[in-house]
Chains A and B, each alone.
Chain A
Amino acid sequence: MPNNKVLAIRRQNFAGWSMALPACLLVFTFLILPFFMAFGLSLTNQRLVSPNPTEFVGFDNFRQMLGIGLLTMEPDVDDTGNIKIDQEGNPIYPRVRNFTRNQDDYPQYFKKREWFRIGLPNDKMLVVLSQDVVFMKALSNTLLFALIVCPIQAGFALGLALLINQPLRGINIFRTVYFAPVVISMVVVSLLWRFIYDGQNGLLNALLQMFSLGLFEPVDWLGNTTTALPAIMAMSIWQGVGFHMVIWLSGLQTIPISHYEVARIEGATRWQTFRYVTWPSLRNTAILVMVIITMQAFTLYPQVQVMTRGGPLDSTQSLVFQAVVRGYEKQDISGGSAISVLLFLLVLSISLFQRYLTREKD
């Protein structure tokens, strides 16, 4: 027989749940339900605008995106059997188009496109074909973006946090200044940086020219395939660094002063203090920062949308940008959902891997 105390707890439990109910409902309707719907839609041919009924197509959308073909080409030979050579002395290869537009002889390559090529010994050329080159480029760009942005952003943020974690007069001004870009909308920041990166009269070019005494040739930062993605990376790091700085700062402030006092009494140098006192105490903060930065890096979108729209030549395509372009602009909801599902699986596996690496080793 339950006593009064248990009953009271049950009653409180009920009150608690009923208070949480509205939030739970909202989270379910707008986060959990769409999440499962994306899974479902990615297995259909659902369109944004269509009078046709939706059909189940299995994994077609994923096959379409991930299809890969390998083609090994021999150089062209002339009538005498010699390899044809271009002006720079490199062998000339047949056009990939001869293979990818020829359904009868090469059905396995039909309608695939060249992604990249690798030179093999004996003048052979390995061409990696993909069914959906734009998706592949979006995938590789997003991975590269995460790989470079995560460590640099986390590092800078820690540096800034250490700098502003000092009992100095007016330190709050610095905290505000570093945090300011975070509270400004990414779209606004992107618009401003588009002017900074402008190839003709942008601020960056003007500064570089001034400091190099006019030696620097202006670069069209966002119009160049080699500089567009790095330009977006630099801007993204600057924009997000303040947020992670605050997380690091909160971690730093949980470290008891007494630990530092002990270190000082023991005669530790500043580096030793950081290496053996600060860093181990920041372990949980570091895990949090890494997980958040990775997730944010994979959702690269507004910068691309505002600054380059994926160009030039797909050098700044990203997964989320492609999901939006396909799902909304090209009315292919199922294709957009398929990208979202792949992105989710990617981020989930990376986060699990990070958890595994940072697990308590007892």
Chain B
Amino acid sequence: MKQIVITKIIACFFIFTSSSVFAQTQLSMWYHGAGNHVEGEIVQQIIDDFNASQSDWVVALESFPQESYNDSVTAAALAGNLPDIIDVDGPILPNWAWAGYMAPLTIDESKLDGFLPGSLGRWNGELYAVGLWDAACAIFARKSVLEANGIRIPTLDAPWSHEEFDAALVTLQNSGDFDYALDLGMAWTGEWYPYAFGPFLQSFGGDIIDVEANMADGALNGDAGLAFGEFWQSLFARNLVPGTSQDGADRETGFINGSYALQWNGNWAALPALEAFGDDMLFLPAPDFGTGPKIGAASWQFGISSTSEHKDGASAFIEFAIQDKYLSAFSKGIGLIPPTEAASAMTPNYSPGGPLEVFYGLSNAQATLRAVTPAYVVGGKVFEKAMADIANGADVADTLDAAADEIDADIDQNNGYQ
């Protein structure tokens, strides 16, 4: 009995020393996709491949549910426990970079040639993060419906103008075949509002925050902003779109079961629509409201935390992860847009002639970043409330004034986020 114990102790001792002989430095990595099985598998595959490919570093993954991910990072930063590699949602990146959570990437930039601009997280002239995918919005439509109503099918080169778009909505509503002409997705509260509707404002010529002037006054509530606000309100006042009390289930199924004629939605929802309508299905570019058609850019990206003691290792991992085979793996697994042409060609959906190829084109041609400033975190929230209030009938000018004031007060309170 005693002998067994001694052998055990010796065995333990050997295991302990042997692992320290092959001393690899551990890198911690946080990811926002807990609960998404396929996504988790792909990330784990990249990590396993990386760990096997060299002997200096071992990456250990920790996954968080998306809803609590940002809170966890904030808490960890306050407590000084940030991991080496963090992933970050594109529009929030400037805020985290400004707050000192993140360090600039030291990747050879030539490796990033040909990446969609939305997948590169830059702030203040420095590259902080790289995304393994991007996302894009489009107007979901059915060819047969547009043709039956005599509506021109827009293209990337010739999108609908403001008047054409408006007329199309009225025609579809008057056809009486649909509950609503267009579904904007008001049920999806949160970041969807600034992501999906902010580009409309940008196409009118305004923005949530004027990054140059470092203020919202004049950009959000200027003439362009007011014109956008009036248009926005008129969509709801004329009952062309469902309002803020839209049911989440209706958002998911309304277009496919025919109660909405058009739907403003992202590439992640494209496959079910394609299955339902096949060749009849169209993904149309955003309308041009004056200064060109625009859609939101930037999704989740990988970066390095400022407190990491092994920035070279973290960098090596990110460089490893941006290989085309992993970019296409994410696309195949969860339907996202690969950020390079080579990776696109490796996927059935986004390769030339593939059913979702159009999204790569949309992302390339129309994608516009949300205001690249640390003030965006608050700006996006304020914008969301203003959009909901205007949709519910609040006075447009007063609401946008108040929203701009609130954003500017926040910028002041942070000493201009300098």
A residues with CB within 8 A of B: 45, 47-52, 64, 95-97, 100-101, 111, 113-114, 133, 198-200, 220, 222-223, 225, 309-314, 328-332
Q: Judge whether A223 and B394 touch: CB under 8 Å.
A: no
Interface of A is mostly: loop
Give the 8 A-B residue pairs with the shortest CB-CB distance, closest first.
Answer: A223-B245, A312-B392, A49-B99, A51-B100, A111-B405, A313-B392, A330-B378, A220-B245
B77 within 8 A of partner (CB): yes
Chain B residues within an 8 Å CB radius of A47: 413-414
Could you tell me if A330 and B413 are in contact, using CB atoms closer than 8 angstroms? no
Cα–Cα, bound, A45→B385 (Å) = 23
Task: Given the known inter-chain contacts A47-B413, A200-B247, A331-B378, please indicate yes or no for A313 contacting B402, CB distance below 8 A.
Answer: no
A49→B71 CA distance, assembly (Å): 11
Q: Please tell me the number of chain B residues within 8 Å of chain A, measured between CB atoms.
A: 34
State whether A313 touches B99 (Cβ < 8 A). no
- On chain A, the residues within 8 Å of B378 by CB distance are 330-332
Contacts of A200 in B (CB 8 A): 247, 250
B278 within 8 A of partner (CB) = no
Is the pair B247, A223 in contact by a Cβ cutoff of 8 Å? Answer: no
Which of B96, B382, B397, B415 is the one whose CB lies under 8 Å from A97?
B397
Determine whether the beta carbon of A51 is less than 8 Å from that of B398.
no
Q: Which residue of B lies closest to A51 (CB)?
A: B100
Interface string of B146-184 (1 = CB under 8 A from A): 000000000000000000000000000000000000000
A-B pairs with beta carbons under 8 Å apart, 13 shown: A47-B414, A49-B77, A52-B414, A95-B397, A97-B397, A97-B398, A113-B401, A114-B398, A198-B247, A311-B392, A312-B388, A331-B377, A332-B413
Question: Is the pair B74, A49 in contact by a Cβ cutoff of 8 Å?
Answer: yes
In the bound complex, residues from chain A placing their C-beta under 8 Å from that of B99 are: 49-51
Q: Is the CB of B74 within 8 A of A313?
A: no
**Residues of A close to B98: CB separation below 8 A:** 51
B189 touches A309 (CB 8 A): yes
A101: nearest residue on chain B (CB-CB)?
Answer: B401
Nearest-neighbour CB distance to chain A for B292, whole angstroms, equals 29
Smallest beta-carbon distance B360→chain A, Å: 34
B245→A113 contact, CB < 8 A: no
Q: How far is the CA of A140 from the CA of B36 in the complex (A)?
A: 43
Query: Are A311 and B244 neighbours in the complex by a CB distance under 8 Å?
Result: yes
CB neighbours of B247 from chain A (8 A): 198, 200
A17–B253 CA distance with the chains assembled, in angstroms: 63
Contact status B100-A222, CB under 8 Å? no
* B410 at interface, CB cutoff 8 A: yes
**Is residue B348 contacting chain A, with contact meaning CB distance below 8 A?**
no
Given A200-B247, A312-B244, CB of A50 within 8 Å of CB of B414: yes
Using CB atoms, name the residue of chain B closest to A222: B245
Contacts of B39 in A (CB 8 A): none
Between A100, A111, A329, the greatest number of chain B beta carbons within 10 A of the residue's beta carbon is seen for: A111
Q: Are B389 and A313 in contact (CB under 8 A)?
A: yes
The CA-CA distance from A52 to B405 in the complex, in Å, is: 22
A285 smallest CB distance to B (angstroms): 41
Q: Which of B343-373 contact A (CB under 8 A)?
A: none
Q: Bound complex: CA of A314 vs CA of B394, how far in Å?
A: 10
In the complex, which residues 381-399 of chain B have their Cβ closer than 8 Å to any Cβ of chain A? 381-382, 385, 388-389, 392-394, 397-398
In the complex, which residues of chain A have a beta carbon less than 8 angstroms from the beta carbon of B95? 49
Say if the beta carbon of B33 comes within 8 Å of chain A.
Answer: no
Partner of A330, one of B74, B388, B393, B410: B410
Contacts of A199 in B (CB 8 A): 245
Residues of chain A with a CB closer than 8 A to B382's CB: 330
Q: Knowing A49-B99, A133-B402, A331-B377, say if A311 contacts B388 (CB, 8 Å).
A: yes
Who on chain B is nearest to A57 by CB? B413
Report the separation of the CA atoms of residues A313 and B409 in the bound assembly, to the nearest whole angstrom: 21
Residues of chain A with a CB closer than 8 A to B388's CB: 311-312
Alpha-carbon distance between A225 and B410 when the two chains are bound, in angstroms: 28
Contacts of B243 in A (CB 8 A): 223
Q: A257 to B89, alpha carbons, bound, how many Å?
A: 67
B346 CB to nearest chain A CB (Å):
38
Shortest Cβ gap from A92 to chain B (Å):
15
CB neighbours (8 Å) of B394 from chain A are 313
A127 to chain B, nearest CB (A): 12
- Given A51-B100, A96-B398, A313-B394, A45 and B413 contact (CB-CB distance below 8 Å): yes
Contact partners of A97 in chain B: CB under 8 A: 397-398, 401
Contacts of B100 in A (CB 8 A): 51
Chain B residue, CB-CB nearest to A334: B413
Question: B74's closest neighbor in chain A, by CB?
Answer: A49
Shortest CB distance B393–A (Å): 7
> Chain A residues with Cβ under 8 A from B392's Cβ?
225, 311-313
By beta carbon, the residue of chain A nearest B418 is: A52
**Cβ B74 vs Cβ A100 within 8 A:** no
Report the separation of the CA atoms of residues A45 and B411 in the bound assembly, to the nearest whole angstrom.
12
Quick check: B397 and A48 within 8 Å, CB to CB? Answer: no
**Minimal Cβ-Cβ distance residue in B for A335:** B413
Among B77, B381, B382, B392, max chain A CB count under 10 A is at: B392
Chain A residues near B71: list those with CB within 8 A: 328
Point out which of B245, B377, B385 has the most chain A C-beta atoms below 10 A from its C-beta.
B245
